[in-house]
A and B are shown apart, each in its own frame.
Chain A
Amino acid sequence: MPEYNSAVLQELLDGCLQKNRRSQELLYKQFYGYAMSICLRYTRSREEAKEILNDGFLKVFTKLESFDASRPFKTWLSRIMINTALDHYRQEVRRDVFDDVEVAEQVSVDETVISKLSHEELIGLIQRLTPAYRLVFSLSVIDGYTHEEIAEQLNISVGASKSNLSRAREKLRDMLSKINIDDYDRVAR
Chain B
Amino acid sequence: MIELPDDELDKLFRKSSEELDPTYEPDDWNDLRKRLDKQDGKTPAAWWRKWWPAGLLALLIPIGIVVYSWEGENARKGEGRKEKSGIVGLEGTEDGGSERGVVEEGGVKAPENAGVEVKSGVVSESGVAKESGRSSEGVGKSGVSAGEAVKATAGVDKGNPIVDNANELVAKRNRVAGNGKKDIGSELKTSKKEAGKSSSKSELTAAVGNNGGKPLPRSQSKAGGVFLEPNRSTVEGGDGALSFKNNAKAAGGETSLPQATSRQDVNTASKASTEMQPESLTKADESGRALISASALDSKALKWNVLQLPGIFQPVYELAEPPAPRKQSSMSADDRPLMAVRFGYSPDLSTVGLKDFSKPGTSVSLLVEYSVLPRLYLQSGAVWSRKDYSASAEAYQLPKHKYYPPLALSGIDGVCKVLEIPLNVRYDIALGERSRWFATGGFSSYHMNAEKYKYYYIDPKDPSAEKWPGWNGKTGWYWLSHANVSAGYEYRISRKLSLLAEPSIRMPLKRVGYGKVNLITTGLWLSVRYTPVFK
Q: Say whether B31 contacts A33, CB under 8 Å.
A: no
Determine if B28 is an interface residue (Cβ-Cβ < 8 Å): yes
User: Could you say which of A41, A93, A119 contacts B19, with CB atoms under 8 Å apart?
Assistant: A119
Contact partner of A33 (CB less than 8 A), chosen from B1, B16, B24, B403, is B24
Q: Chain A's nearest CB lies how many Å from the CB of B466? A: 13
CA distance A54 to B25 in the complex (A): 12
| Contacting pair B40 A19 (CB below 8 A) | yes
B4 touches A37 (CB 8 A): no
Q: Assess whether B14 is interfacial by the CB under 8 Å rule.
A: yes
Least distance between A38 CB and chain B CB atoms (Å): 8
**Distance, CA A53 to CA B464, complexed state (A):** 29
Q: Which of A65-73, A99-107, A180-188 contacts B (4 or more CB under 8 A)?
A: A180-188
Residues of B within 8 A of A141 (CB): 10, 13-14
Which single residue of chain A is at the shortest CB-CB distance from B37?
Answer: A21
With contacts A176-B4, A177-B2 known, is A94 near B28, CB below 8 A?
Answer: no
Does residue B35 face the partner (Cβ distance < 8 Å to A)? yes
The answer, yes or no, to whether A11 is at the interface (CB within 8 Å) is no
Question: Closest Cβ of chain B: how far from A177's Cβ, in Å?
Answer: 4
- Using CB atoms, name the residue of chain B closest to A56: B32
CB-CB nearest in chain B for A142? B17
A10 within 8 A of B: no
- Say whether, besides A58-B35, A123-B17, A172-B13, A37 and B22 are in contact (CB < 8 Å): yes
A181 to B39, CA, bound (A): 50
Instruction: Compute how far the CA of A184 lies from the CA of B14 in the bound complex, rounded to whole angstroms.
Output: 14
Residues of B close to A153: CB separation below 8 A: 405
Within the complex, which residue of A94, A174, A188 is in contact with B459, where a contact is CB–CB below 8 Å?
Answer: A94
Q: Within the complex, what minimum Cβ distance (angstroms) separates A49 from chain B?
A: 8
Task: Identify which of A41, A62, A152 contacts B17 (C-beta below 8 A).
Answer: A41
B463 & A40 in contact (Cβ 8 Å cutoff): no
Task: Give Cα A188–Cα B8 distance, bound, in whole angstroms.
Answer: 9
Contact of A29 among B29, B31, B36, B463 (CB under 8 A): B29
Are A28's CB and B13's CB within 8 A? no
Q: Flag whether B65 is at the interface (Cβ < 8 A).
A: no
In the complex, per-residue mask of A158-189: 1 if CB is within 8 Å of any chain B CB, else 0: 00000000000100111011000100100110
Determine whether B373 belongs to the interface, using a CB cutoff of 8 Å to chain A.
no
**A184 near B2 (CB under 8 angstroms)?**
yes
Question: Across the interface, do A188 and B12 meet the contact criterion of CB distance under 8 Å?
Answer: yes
Residues of A within 8 A of B19 (CB): 119
Q: Are B40 and A86 in contact, CB atoms less than 8 angstroms apart?
A: no
Chain A residue contacts of B15, Cβ below 8 A: 119, 188
Contacts of B32 in A (CB 8 A): 28, 54, 57-58
Given A94-B459, A119-B19, CB of A29 within 8 Å of CB of B14:
no
Q: With both chains docked as a complex, state the minimum distance between the C-beta of B107 and any C-beta of chain A, in angstroms.
A: 75
B24 touches A142 (CB 8 A): no
Contact of B16 among A46, A54, A187 (CB under 8 A): A187
CA distance A40 to B17 in the complex (A): 9
Q: How many angstroms from the CA of A87 to the CA of B13 in the assembled complex?
A: 23
Question: Considering the chains assembled together, what is the distance between the CA atoms of A58 and B18 in angstroms?
Answer: 23
Contacts of B31 in A (CB 8 A): 50, 54
For the complex, is A91 an interface residue (Cβ under 8 Å from B)? yes
**Chain B's nearest CB lies how many Å from the CB of A108?**
13
Query: Which single residue of chain A is at the shortest CB-CB distance from B42?
Result: A21
Closest to B1 in A: A177
Residues of B within 8 A of A33 (CB): 20-24
Return the chain B residue nearest A92 by Cβ: B458
Say how far B86's CB is from chain A's closest CB, in angstroms: 65
Binary per-residue interface labels of chain A (6-48) against chain B in the complex, 1 for a CB within 8 Å, 0 otherwise: 0000000000000101001100110011001100110000100
Chain B residues whose C-beta falls within 8 Å of the C-beta of A112 in the assembled complex: none
Query: Are B36 and A94 closer than 8 Å at their CB atoms?
Result: no
A135 in contact (CB, < 8 A): no
> B residues within 8 A CB of A36?
22
A157 to chain B: closest residue by CB: B463
The 8 Å CB contact of A142, one of B3, B13, B403, B463, is B13
A75 CB within 8 Å of chain B: no
- 0/1 per residue, B448-484, Cβ < 8 Å to A? 0000000000110011100000000000000000000
The reply to whether the CB of B9 lies closer than 8 angstroms to some CB of chain A is yes
B464 engages A155 (CB within 8 Å): yes
Q: What's the Cα separation between A19 and B4 when bound, in Å?
A: 49
Contact A123 B408 (CB under 8 A): no
Please, how many angstroms separate the alpha-carbon atoms of A41 and B19 in the complex?
13
Partner of A25, one of B17, B22, B29, B39: B29
**Chain B residues near A54 (CB-CB < 8 A):** 28, 31-32, 35
B419 smallest CB distance to A (angstroms):
32
Counting CB contacts under 8 A, is A122 at the interface? yes
The CA-CA distance from A85 to B159 in the complex, in Å, is: 113
Q: Is B33 an interface residue (CB 8 A)?
A: yes
Give 12 CB contacts A-B under 8 Å. A32-B22, A37-B17, A37-B22, A41-B17, A50-B25, A58-B35, A119-B16, A119-B19, A120-B22, A123-B17, A123-B20, A152-B403
Please provide the 5 A-B residue pairs with the shortest distance between their CB atoms, ordered closest to farther: A122-B16, A177-B1, A119-B16, A94-B458, A36-B22
